[in-house]
Amino acid sequence: MATIAELKQRFRQRDRVVRVLSLDGAFRAVAIKNTVVAQTAQQRHGLEPVGARLLAQALASASLLASFLKGEERIVVEVHGDGPVSTVAAEALQVGEVRGYVEYEQEQSNGVPLAAHPYPLGRKGLFRIMRILYNHSEPVVSVVELQPGDIAVNLEYYFERSEQIPTVVQFDVTFDKSGFISTSAALLVQTMPGATPQEIYAVEERLRVLPPLSELLASGFMPEEILRQVLPGPFTVLNNTPVDFFCRCSRERFKELLTTLSYEEVQEMQRLGHNELVCHYCGERYRLTGQDFAEVLQRIQARTN
Ligand SMILES: [Zn+2]
């Protein structure tokens, strides 16, 4: 049996996203602690710190944006650039599941070590936000040009360009000596049309003196308490959701996917011993057995007959 103190401690350590609206409607804000999510992603994909940091930021972005959605609605945040980290992608559901991956450019020709690279995502490319919503038959996609910088820079630019909402985004991803993520957190603050210049100034001031998010978390602040440091007035909590790195892939889903290939293609895969399928999103490996291949071939045959 856990003691009340232990339960309380566990509750505080849980990854969580909290979205609030100030009572006067002047600001909306979201804070997230996604340390365990970011650590899990780094471990599953075996990432060095530069990729791990960008992925932690993308995962946090997806969860922040998903907190505005409903139930199983989901959001995909994707960056494709001409830098050494060529793709960063994260997908989150409002219910708290989030997953993501990073791709590296194969030829790192100029010899600059990744950690010293000024723009690991590159200077040219695309920043894409896709929303899969209940009342839309097609995903709602917005794309802006990649801005040199990290994901915070791009997310702010996206809100300014696509949604005309002044937005401040802060990420804090810290590492231990061995290059493993020790904290990941993020904050998003948006000014609504009704905000007065005095109110805007007050929030800007508070953001300016706000200690790093990792320090706040280390001293026991939860996302809601961090938001209390940022917004001067009272607010309503609209969403408070635990967040987990979770992927819905399964052996069955992969087999279903294989049935979209031709009979000959699947036979060829089996003949060449290409029996290991790796989930891009979570790094899970599925080794297909002879029985799996037989089932897939049978389903293809049933479909084509
Ligand atoms: Zn997966």
Q: What is the pLDDT of residues 223-278, one digit of tens each?
A: 999 999 999 999 999 999 999 999 999 999 999 999 999 999 999 999 999 999 99
Structure tokens at 169: 């985004």
- Report the separation in Å between the CA atom of 279 and the middle of ligand 1, taken as the mean of its atom positions: 5
- Residues 63/31, Cβ–Cβ less than 8 Å: no
Give dist(CA 210, CA 127) in Å, integer.
Answer: 28
- Report the separation in Å between the CA atom of 292 and the middle of ligand 1, taken as the mean of its atom positions: 18
- Report the separation in Å between the CA atom of 84 and the middle of ligand 1, taken as the mean of its atom positions: 24
Task: Tell me which fold the domain 11-245 belongs to.
Answer: Hsp33 domain (3.55.30)
In this predicted structure, what is the pLDDT of residue 48? 96
Full-model pTM: 0.92
Give dist(CA 19, CA 72) in Å, integer.
Answer: 17
- Report the separation in Å between the CA atom of 151 and the middle of ligand 1, taken as the mean of its atom positions: 23
DSSP letter (8 states) at residue 202: H
Give dist(CA 12, CA 9) in Å, integer.
Answer: 5
21-60 pLDDT, tens digit per residue, is 999 999 999 999 999 999 999 999 999 999 999 999 999 9
- Report the separation in Å between the CA atom of 39 and the middle of ligand 1, taken as the mean of its atom positions: 16
pLDDT category at 190 given cuts 50, 70, 90 is very high
Give dist(CA 92, CA 87) in Å, integer.
Answer: 17
CATH code 3.90.1280.10 region(s) in the chain: 251-304
* DSSP assignment of 168-193: EEEEEEEE-TTS-EEEEEEEEEEE-T
277-289 pLDDT, tens digit per residue, is 999 999 999 999 9
Give dist(CA 137, CA 55) in Å, integer.
Answer: 29
Contacts of 88 (CB under 8 A, 6+ apart): 51, 54, 55, 57, 58, 78, 79, 100, 101, 102, 103, 121, 151
Structure tokens at 3: 């003691």
Distance separating the N- and C-terminal Cα atoms of the chain: 58
- Report the separation in Å between the CA atom of 235 and the middle of ligand 1, taken as the mean of its atom positions: 37
- Report the separation in Å between the CA atom of 100 and the middle of ligand 1, taken as the mean of its atom positions: 9
Mean per-residue pLDDT for 105-122?
82
**Check whether domain 251-304 has CATH 3.40.640.10, yes or no:** no
- Residues 115/49, Cβ–Cβ less than 8 Å: yes
- Report the separation in Å between the CA atom of 251 and the middle of ligand 1, taken as the mean of its atom positions: 10
- Report the separation in Å between the CA atom of 132 and the middle of ligand 1, taken as the mean of its atom positions: 19
CATH code 3.55.30.10 region(s) in the chain: 11-245
- Residues 227/6, Cβ–Cβ less than 8 Å: no
